[in-house]
């Protein structure tokens, strides 16, 4: 049997929290494989990490909304003599607007990425994670803790991620596999642009940098924390929304989302459409 | 010519779905029933035809297929029908450690419980609104807590709850959106999931009772319906219990409610 080298696989590593996580894993001496859609950005990140004196990450250009992508990632790793010790499911996106009016196939693709690919990658490499006493870091969001009118699908996918990861945390503990759900508040990255959020209107009190959030996520995973919510204000928020009445929350979220949608107003009320 | 309104019910061939179909039929709604192609779907349609007069349209489709939403929509157009109510009842669960259950089946669960439900929830909003109808999504009390021993299932139901509650707000007041969070109901669900037939007595409700509660809640435009006093209390308590206590407890509970030894050892044996 050939020995495969352990590697930390980071998805959605082209930019934002994913790129920051790849850097943190590399800085802590892990070999890294970066997965994303944009090869030039991944190459630049890999060069950057190599220039800092660490091993150059393996670049795997891949669109994770494709159903067969997790299998192909496995093949790609195997072909380079690697197997996962850590899986970092960071790839994901959100869309702002009323679910009935947003493009339906884009929303179903969000499920394929945020839910299906994450579940697939979390479960596919368990044997290898156990062999290396590694772990799974699933990037969710504080959006997981409350339903989100104006961002309904995104909030729902993230609540899936937290529920699934918390259950896995308990199930995989006997095998020595760490499982952590990272639930950041707003982090200024390309996420906002893709979602249709106005990046200048992020709530200052809740906003943290990608680097800091990535470091918190890494530390939490190493200490096998079940859920990591970076920042005291986000911790407070996630505690409050867990106990607050849903009816009040739904109204508040709805109004907050409408205030943050990027101009021009791309979010008409259903009745105004008729 | 305008299309005639129908009630589209998925997972209609048994359990809560069948009970809901009978209930809508007794209230004189025309039905379109979606289920896997199997004899009991036609049998139910015959039974309803005998009792209520009109025979429901049967749509034998596998909802785990990715383009099934489009194909259902095309069939309805061909039949000159369009949904007035959509009832997403189709779903299944699997008991066991996620890492040891069949992965393809678990991803099919995501495709059904999450993807198909979302597709059908959003696809017919215009026609639902035209007919002043509504959307009923079937979740579970499992939505209120993560489920070690049933990880993917509980997560899919958490998705359904979050998504449907947001939709309730987004589509008000033109479209009613109700989430049904039932406790254990003795149906084929348990057999499929691998749960022993003995359900917690205080929580268990009959499919007919659950369907009745859901129907009334949907018509009244309620956001959430939790049938049974025991389940209502459970839903309020679960978010308050610290997860660190709840999760290991849940894992042990699942361990003892699964089927006899052969399966249990398979599921819970530790890897070498």
Reported as a single tens digit per residue, the pLDDT across A203-230 is 888 888 999 999 999 999 999 999 999 9
Reported as a single tens digit per residue, the pLDDT across B26-78 is 999 999 999 998 899 999 999 999 997 789 999 999 999 999 999 999 999 99
Pairing of the two strands B57-60 and B31-35: parallel
Mean pLDDT throughout B13-34? 95
- Tell whether the model's pLDDT for residue B272 goes beyond 70: no
- How do the domains of chain B map onto residue ranges? 4-268
Residue of A nearest to B152 (CA): A164
Angle between helices B15-26 and B207-219 (to 10 degrees): 50
Residue of A nearest to B159 (CA): A156
* Fold classified for B4-268: Rossmann fold (3.40.50)
Reported as a single tens digit per residue, the pLDDT across B82-135 is 999 999 999 999 999 999 999 999 999 999 999 999 999 999 999 999 999 999
A178 has a chain B CB within 8 A of its CB: no
Q: How far apart are CA A221 and CA B4, in angstroms?
A: 55
Q: Tell me whether residues A170 and B248 touch, CB distance under 8 A.
A: yes
User: Which residues share a beta bridge with A32?
Assistant: A8
Smallest CA–CA separation between B155 and chain A, in Å?
5
For B270, the closest of A124, A161, A175 (CB atoms) is A175
Q: How far apart are CA B178 and CA B175, in angstroms?
A: 10
Which of A250, A240, A256 has the alpha carbon at shortest distance from A148?
Answer: A250
Residues of B121-156 as b/e, b for ≥16 C-beta within 10 angstroms?
A: bbbbbebbbbbebbbbbbbbbbbbbbbbbbbbbbbb
Per-residue pLDDT at A116: 98
Per-residue pLDDT at B256: 64
Per-residue pLDDT at A261: 67
Residues of A202-232 as b/e, b for ≥16 C-beta within 10 angstroms?
A: beeebbbebeebbbbbbebbeeebbbbbbbe
Tokens of B249: 């407890």
Which of A32, A28, A24 has the alpha carbon at shortest distance from A5?
Answer: A32
How many percent of chain A have pLDDT more than 90? Answer: 76
Active site residue A218: no
- The larger pLDDT score, comparing residue A111 to residue B267, is at A111
Percentage helix, strand, coil, to 5, in chain B?
55, 15, 35
- Tell whether the model's pLDDT for residue B266 goes beyond 60: no
A236 has a chain B CB within 8 A of its CB: no
Percentage helix, strand, coil, to 5, in chain A?
55, 15, 35
A114 has a chain B CB within 8 A of its CB: no
Rg of chain B (C-alpha set): 19
Q: Tell me whether residues B161 and A151 touch, CB distance under 8 A.
A: no
Which of A150, A45, A168, A42 has the alpha carbon at shortest distance from A94?
Answer: A150
Reported as a single tens digit per residue, the pLDDT across A95-124 is 999 999 999 999 999 999 999 999 999 999
Q: How far apart are CA A135 and CA B248, in angstroms?
A: 19
Mean pLDDT of chain A: 91
- Helix (DSSP H) and strand (DSSP E) numbers for chain B: 12, 7
For A119, the closest of B110, B122, B147 (CB atoms) is B110
The model's confidence at residue B5, banded by pLDDT at 50, 70 and 90, is very high
A246 has a chain B CB within 8 A of its CB: yes
Cβ partners under 8 Å of residue A114, min gap 6 = A92, A93, A154, A157, A158, A160, A161
* Domains located in chain A, CATH noted: 5-273 (3.40.50.720)
For B146, the closest of A127, A149, A166 (CB atoms) is A166
């Amino acid at each position: 049997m050939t020995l495969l080298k352990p590697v930390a696989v980071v998805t959605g590593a082209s930019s934002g929290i994913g790129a920051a996580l790849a850097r943190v894993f590399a800085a802590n001496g892990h070999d890294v494989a970066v997965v994303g859609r944009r090869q030039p950005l991944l190459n630049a990140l890999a060069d950057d990490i190599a220039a800092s004196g660490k091993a150059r990450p393996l670049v795997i250009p891949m669109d994770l909304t494709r159903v067969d992508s997790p299998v192909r990632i496995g093949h790609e790793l195997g072909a380079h003599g690697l197997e996962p010790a850590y899986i970092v499911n960071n790839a994901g996106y959100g869309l702002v607007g009323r679910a009935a009016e947003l493009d339906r196939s884009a929303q179903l693709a969000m499920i394929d990425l945020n839910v299906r690919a994450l579940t697939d990658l979390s479960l596919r490499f368990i044997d290898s994670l156990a062999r290396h006493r590694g772990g799974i870091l699933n990037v969710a969001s504080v959006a997981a803790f409350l339903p989100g009118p104006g961002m309904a699908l995104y909030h729902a996918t993230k609540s899936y991620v937290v529920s699934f990861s918390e259950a896995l945390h308990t199930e995989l503990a006997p095998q020595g596999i760490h499982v952590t759900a990272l639930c950041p508040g707003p982090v200024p990255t390309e996420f906002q642009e893709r979602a249709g959020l106005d990046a200048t209107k992020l709530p200052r009190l809740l906003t943290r940098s990608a680097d800091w959030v990535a470091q918190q996520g890494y530390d939490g995973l190493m200490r096998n924390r079940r859920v990591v919510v970076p920042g005291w204000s986000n911790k407070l928020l996630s505690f409050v929304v867990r106990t607050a009445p849903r009816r009040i929350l739904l109204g508040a979220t709805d109004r907050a989302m409408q205030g943050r949608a990027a101009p021009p107003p791309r979010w008409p009320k259903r009745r105004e459409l008729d | 010519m305008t299309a005639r309104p129908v009630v589209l019910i998925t997972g209609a061939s048994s359990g809560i779905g069948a009970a809901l179909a009978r209930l809508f039929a007794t209230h004189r709604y025309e039905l379109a029933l979606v289920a896997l192609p199997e004899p009991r779907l036609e049998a139910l349609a015959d039974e309803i035809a005998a009792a209520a007069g009109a025979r429901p349209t049967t749509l034998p489709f596998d909802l785990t297929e990715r383009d099934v939403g489009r194909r259902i929509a095309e069939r309805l157009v061909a039949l000159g029908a369009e949904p007035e109510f959509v009832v997403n009842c189709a779903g299944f669960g699997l008991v066991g450690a996620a890492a040891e259950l069949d992965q393809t089946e678990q991803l099919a669960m995501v495709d059904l419980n999450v993807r198909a439900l979302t597709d059908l929830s959003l696809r017919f909003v215009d026609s639902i609104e035209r007919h002043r109808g509504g959307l009923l999504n079937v979740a579970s009390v499992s939505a209120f807590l993560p489920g070690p021993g049933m990880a993917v299932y509980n997560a899919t139901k958490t998705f359904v709850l979050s998504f449907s509650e947001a939709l309730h707000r987004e589509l008000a007041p033109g479209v009613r959106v109700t989430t049904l969070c039932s406790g254990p109901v003795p149906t084929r669900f348990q057999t499929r999931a691998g749960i022993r037939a003995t359900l917690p007595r205080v929580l268990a409700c009959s499919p007919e009772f659950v369907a009745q509660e859901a129907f009334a809640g949907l018509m009244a435009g309620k956001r959430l319906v939790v049938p049974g006093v025991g389940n209502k209390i459970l839903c309020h308590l679960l978010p308050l219990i610290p997860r660190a206590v709840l999760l290991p407890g849940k894992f042990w509970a699942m361990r003892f409610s699964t089927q006899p030894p052969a399966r249990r050892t398979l599921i819970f044996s530790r890897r070498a």
